[in-house]
Amino acid sequence: MRLDGIHHVTCITADAPGNVDFYTRILGLRLVKKTVNQDDPTVYHLFYADEDGSPGGDITFFEYPGIPRGRAGDGMIHTVEWRVGSAESLDFWERRLTDEGVAVERGDGDVVFEDPEGLRHRLVVTAAEDEPLMAEHPEIPAEHALQGFDAVRAYTRAPEVSRPVLQEILGFTAAGDGVWEARGDTRGGVYAYDESPEERGLGGAGTVHHVAWSSTMEEHGAWHARVAAAGLRPSPIIDRFWFRSIYFREPSGVLFEIATLGPGFGIDEDPEHLGEKLILPPAFEHIRAQIEPVLTPLPDPRAAARS
Ligand code: ZN
């Protein structure tokens, strides 16, 4: 059994409208699902991805209006890395982000920036031959579009403590000092550690909540059994409608999820119109009239781009 790279990365925002603006208008991702937190239906859960809503390029946000800024610390993911096509793409993003007033650090082979709430992103030229996962955007030429995740980077004081779980239980391959790759039949994704800062981490706006790794539907039950047998105390298998999930903490403290590659975001919406209307899990549909007025109104980013 092999995990097929990163499935999605879930983060926290205090400002859903600003979040939609940054990830759709500026970064050019497609809002592929506008729904609510299945554990708290008074707040949004927003999913941005490529045109098809594919696992591998799907960044999602829980909205907690008014929650203070957090900061990444020990046992937390601090940076999300995305693939782009070429050095010219890095030039494009350096220019585009700078024009939008986003502070950019341009390195030799990367572009580093933060979203409006301090969540750090890094763009790197891909060496992977995986299918590029791109969304369409009128101002972003296809050759420069984001192509999906390359890696997530986390803070730890002791990467060796996690090694047995990453390698022997999850089947990651060591790829350097504190660096591992999860590579399956169709994609790969990297998990890397950096030395923790002195300051304690704090969950909040602009932090990563968890990273999910991809499993086939057929192998998902076996992954649950394997993680449980290793003493990692996973959650039960939870049906998230667009995929199934199990959650557990790896020894460094980072919350991991293993999510299935299907059935996908088209299961309850026309693929042509993903993300345009509020989708409620079936258990909440009967209280739609109470939920909708509580949520911050959001623009339809595609309609805004066309007008
Ligand atoms: Zn998740």
* 134 pLDDT higher than 70: yes
Question: What pLDDT is stored for residue 262 in this prediction?
Answer: 92
Ligand 1 centre to CA of 288 (Å) is: 23
Question: What pLDDT is stored for residue 38 in this prediction?
Answer: 86
How far, in Å, CA of 305 to CA of 296, rounded?
Answer: 20
| Contacts made by residues 167-173, CB under 8 angstroms, sequence distance 24+ | 169/226, 169/227, 169/230, 169/232, 170/3, 170/213, 171/1, 171/2, 171/3, 172/3
* pLDDT tens by residue, 284-302: 999 999 999 999 989 888 8
* Per-residue confidence band for 100, with pLDDT thresholds at 50, 70 and 90: very high
Ligand 1 centre to CA of 87 (Å) is: 31
Q: pTM for the full model? A: 0.97
Ligand 1 centre to CA of 157 (Å) is: 25
CB 206 within 8 A of CB 70: yes
> Which domains are present in the chain?
6-306 (3.10.180.10)
Residue 95: exposure state from Cβ atoms within 10 A (0-12, 13-18, ≥19): exposed
Ligand 1 centre to CA of 58 (Å) is: 10
Q: How many residues does the chain have?
A: 307
Ligand 1 centre to CA of 92 (Å) is: 30
Ligand 1 centre to CA of 8 (Å) is: 6
Ligand 1 centre to CA of 30 (Å) is: 18
Ligand 1 centre to CA of 283 (Å) is: 19
